[in-house]
Amino acid sequence: MTGIEPQEPHEPHEPKEPHDLTRLSINQETVKQWSLPELAAGCTAAGIGSVGLWRAPVQEYGVERAARLMRDSGLTVTSLCRGGFFTARDPELRARALDDNRAAIDEAAELATGTLVLVSGGLPAADRDIAAARERVADALAELAPYAAERGVRLALEPLHPMYASDRCVISTLGQALDIAERFPAEQVGVVVDTYHLWWDDLAPAHTARAGAGGRIAAFQLADWVTPLPEGVLLGRGQLGDGCIDLRGWHRRVDAAGYRGAVEVEIFNPALWARDGAEVLAEVAERYVRHAL
């Protein structure tokens, strides 16, 4: 991948060297139209050495088989999405969630990724106590973190945009995620910095520095913010550069905080899924270089 010009939104300039894709990781949801073998072949062909995987397609393909495919393709699995959904009050539902998360940890270990992304879960039906729900997330981490650590997996708590606070994730800001993560050793519980979820928050830069200083940035994910949001607000993430997020600024910010890991592009967008996967992948790489490097 050469000849892609990095540029400021308003100040394009000529590149001097080929662009480095070594930190770029493709979350498989970005090219959801691809099977796992297609993903492996497509990334290899595009010179991309890392992927983020999701549990459902991995389970469908077979966890061991997926792990072998990634190994044989020379691909690094930068994260597994996702465990979590810890917020049930009902003891039976809660026990089931913990069991499911132990299985997710086992899967992450099998895939040789050190990072299991966790989405906390929303408020149970008729529950109006979001502070208590957040405490149940901390309680679940206390049960799971040692189990994960024994298997070489770090739990990566992901704050989701506040528009998901009731139905998907009661942890809405990086500050909230850190307040919980910091109760545990940094090698056991980290946080995810995802531009889509955090871009609007004036406190997020300071919390990124705090997360970096504590060695807690477990993953860094990119997607752009575009409107209007679709019904349900789940599948409206923008291709890099199509929205209003200063992606390059965020990349520099996590790097300045000491992060040296993968930069994972995770875009849920049916318009991308309707296109040829290789074309989408090439576009993502080009946009990454132009808007985020």
Residue closest to 113 by CA, chosen among 252, 7, 262: 262
Least separation in angstroms between residue 245's CB and its own copies is 7
Distance, in Å, from the CA atom of 121 to the CA atom of 166, rounded to the nearest integer, reads 8
* Residue 128 near its own copies by CB under 8 A: yes
Tokens of 211: 């997360």
For the bound state, the minimum distance from the C-beta of residue 186 to its own copies, rounded and expressed in Å, comes to: 22
Q: For its own copies, which stretch binds (CB under 8 A), given 20-28, 51-59, 228-236, 275-283? A: 228-236
Which two tokens mark 86?
């810890």
Q: Are 92 and 132 in contact (CB under 8 A)?
A: no
Quick one: 92 or 202, whose CB is closer to its own copies? 202
Secondary structure class of 61 (helix, strand, coil): helix
Q: Shortest distance, CB of residue 49 to its own copies, whole angstroms? A: 29
CB of 133 to its own copies, least distance (A): 10
One-character DSSP codes across 267-281: ---HHHHTS-HHHHH
The 10 Å Cβ neighbour count of residue 51 is 27
Q: Report the residue from 166, 182, 209, 268 that binds its own copies according to the rule CB under 8 A.
A: 166
9 binds its own copies (CB under 8 A): yes
Instruction: State how far the Cα of 286 lies from the Cα of 42, in Å rounded to an integer.
Output: 15
CB 147 within 8 A of CB 182: no
270 binding its own copies? (CB under 8 A): no
| 162 belongs to the binding site for its own copies (CB under 8 A) | yes
The answer to whether 126 contacts its own copies (rule: CB under 8 A) is yes
Stretch that binds its own copies, among 17-25, 32-40, 225-233, 255-263 (CB under 8 A): 225-233
Cis previous bond, 270, omega within 30:
no
Which is closer to its own copies, CB of 98 or CB of 130?
130
Residue whose tokens read 């849920």: 268
Of 14, 72, 92, 231, the one binding its own copies (CB under 8 A) is 231
Measured in degrees and rounded to the nearest 5, phi and psi for residue 168 equal -140, -40
* From 85-93, 139-147, 199-207, 258-266, span contacting its own copies (CB under 8 A): 199-207
Q: Which amino acid, one-letter code, is at 46? A: A
Does 263 bind its own copies (CB under 8 A)? Our answer is no
**In angstroms, what is the minimal distance from the CB of 64 to its own copies?**
37
CB closer to its own copies out of 19 and 134: 134
Rounded to an integer, what distance in angstroms lies between the CA atom of residue 182 and that of residue 143? 15
Residues contributing to the site for its own copies (CB under 8 A): 9-10, 123, 126-131, 134, 161-163, 165-167, 172-173, 175-176, 199-203, 225, 227-233, 243-246, 249
